[in-house]
Amino acid sequence: MSAAGIWSGQAITPDLEVIFTSFEFDESDGFILGNAPFTATFQGGVTKSVQQGDLYDGGVFSWHVDTLGGSIAFAIPGDSLAFSVRTVTAGNIATIEVLDEIGNQISATAVTNAFQPIVENRNPGEALIGSVVITVTTGEIVIDNFTFGYPSTASTDDIDCLFAPNDDFVCVLTDATTGDLIGGANGTYQVNGDQVTGAGNLYAAPVETLADGSTTALLTITTGTVEESDSLGLIVDSTGLSREVTSLFDVTYDRGADLATVAAVYSTFDIFGDMFSLTIDGAGMISGLSLTTGCVLSGLVSVIDVAANTYGVNLVADAATCGALSGNYNGLGTSQDAMATDDAFIFAVFVDGVSMIVGQAVK
């Protein structure tokens, strides 16, 4: 069974799970809740049950923090926080501070001797919640029913992948509504029977970020099933999320590959909105020039298998003229149809784990 092909479909990304606890466990040395990298680290105090009902806002345990103080640090900042807090006895003095991701104060609340809610919800564009600092001047406080959440990641995006006969793959993610580039991926894959696994890197498009706030991350194809020349389904783990990919085979893969097909002076080509001139000659040599920045491109297109519409692509963005775009990129390309048969060359190339370029050149 082979997974080689051009595959088009959808990638479904779930929302991140909230972190919730009512502290129904014994712990006195600090503890971590959540699933990496979306975790909350609790320091100070002790979780316990003291058989005094008015010191619990749920269950029969709570987190007790005394004058040594405590803190909660979030590995990935979030946008919602809620918990209940009270002093153990009247006259105890304590303060709860909520800080943003760079340590600026969002709020400070004096704790009373009856359970009161601490609630923070950040609007789009506002700094996210990074930590909580607990200062107990006298006595002791208890915290219960703790919830922490993240901005929505839920999406159903369009995905197009090229799985080459040499076991390399590239994928491009676009917004299903706007068609805007969201990100890409590259790596290698293996097939055992009809089961597909693999590993590589996930990249955010310029001005985009991944779910954990990064721009690149490792990915693993944990499970996958292929029906040769029909369908490919994958579960892809990255940035603490499992994404479900469903795709169908594109018959243009069976056109085969020939340098004569892609050799052309391309009239339309851009990289992230920057217009370039682009030429691929009969030997596969690439030459290009930005019409605005002067960035110089070179490289080579090569045939991987004459029976498969898949090309190896090396693209060099000159260090002296291309600035942040500069690098030695490698990936895959395919001949497709824009206004006529084989009049477009689409490719995705990468500096592994660092950056990507996605291009569509039209003759």
Per-residue model confidence as pLDDT tens digits over 285-325: 999 999 999 999 999 999 999 999 999 999 999 999 999 99
pLDDT of residue 28: 86
**pLDDT tens digits for range 192-220:** 999 999 999 999 999 999 999 899 999 99
Question: Is residue 2 pLDDT above 90, yes or no?
Answer: yes
Lowest mean pLDDT among 52-56, 84-88, 276-280: 52-56
Type of residue at 280: I
Type of residue at 257: A
Residue 332 CA to residue 168 CA, distance in Å, equals 8
Residue 333 CA to residue 64 CA, distance in Å, equals 59
Instruction: Name 138's bridge partners.
Output: 93
pLDDT of residue 51: 85
Question: Is residue 29 pLDDT above 90, yes or no?
Answer: no
**pLDDT tens digits for range 94-121:** 999 999 999 999 999 999 999 999 999 9
Question: For residue 52, what pLDDT band results from cuts at 50, 70 and 90?
Answer: confident
Lowest mean pLDDT among 46-55, 87-96, 273-282: 46-55
Q: How many CA atoms lie within 13 A of 32 on its CB side?
A: 8
As given in the structure block, the two tokens for residue 341 are: 């048969």
Q: What is the dihedral of CA 71, 76, 81, 87, to 10 degrees?
A: -10
CA-closest candidate to residue 142, choices 48, 59, 62 = 62
Percentage of the chain exceeding pLDDT 70: 100
pLDDT of residue 226: 98
Lowest mean pLDDT among 45-59, 66-80, 296-310, 322-336: 45-59
Residue burial 93-116, b: 16+ Cβ < 10 Å; e: rest = ebebebbbbeeeebeeeebeeebe
Question: For residue 58, what pLDDT band results from cuts at 50, 70 and 90?
Answer: confident
Q: Mean pLDDT across the stretch 155-184?
A: 96
pLDDT of residue 1: 87
CA-closest candidate to residue 183, choices 243, 127, 129 = 243
* 330 φ, ψ (degrees, to nearest 5): -135, 145
Q: Do residues 86 and 141 touch, judged by C-beta distance below 8 A? A: yes
Q: Do residues 236 and 221 touch, judged by C-beta distance below 8 A? A: yes
How many Å is the maximal CA-CA distance in the chain? Answer: 85
Residue 213 CA to residue 204 CA, distance in Å, equals 10
pLDDT of residue 7: 98
Q: Name every residue whose Cβ is closer than 8 Å to that of residue 231 and which is 6 or more positions away in sequence.
A: 246, 247, 248, 249
Residue 243 CA to residue 235 CA, distance in Å, equals 6
pLDDT of residue 53: 83
Question: For residue 93, what pLDDT band results from cuts at 50, 70 and 90?
Answer: very high
Question: Is residue 37 pLDDT above 90, yes or no?
Answer: yes
